[in-house]
């Protein structure tokens, strides 16, 4: 039972670290409530990006990334406490 608790506590820390360091990647791969957020498209006239679509996409990525990082930090804290208890 103690080996299981040790492995589980280290695994929780590893999952938390993945969430913190992979937040940008995970935020880009998630869906919104209404569908997939698309990347900003080129304007057909002058070839530039649309500011509104670009800002919306950047804001979405920032919010999702922050959410993943918060969850990851909570898991790291939980895992750290359980590692201290398991390996005392």
Which pLDDT belongs to residue 25?
87
Q: Is the pTM of this model over 0.75?
A: no
Which pLDDT belongs to residue 39?
57
More confident residue, 68 or 40: 68
Which pLDDT belongs to residue 20?
94
Which pLDDT belongs to residue 27?
86
Helix (H) or strand (E) holding 12: helix 2-21
DSSP state of 34: S
Tens digit of pLDDT for each residue in 4-56? 999 999 999 999 999 999 998 888 888 655 555 555 554 555 555 555 666 88
């Amino acid at each position: 039972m103690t080996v299981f608790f040790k492995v589980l506590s280290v695994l929780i820390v590893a999952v938390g670290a993945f969430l913190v360091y992979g937040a940008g990647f995970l935020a880009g791969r998630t869906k919104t409530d209404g569908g997939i957020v698309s990347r900003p498209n080129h304007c057909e006239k002058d070839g530039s990006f649309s500011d509104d679509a670009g800002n919306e996409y950047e804001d979405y990525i920032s919010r999702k990334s922050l959410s993943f990082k918060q969850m990851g930090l909570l898991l790291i804290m939980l895992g750290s406490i359980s590692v201290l208890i398991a390996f005392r």
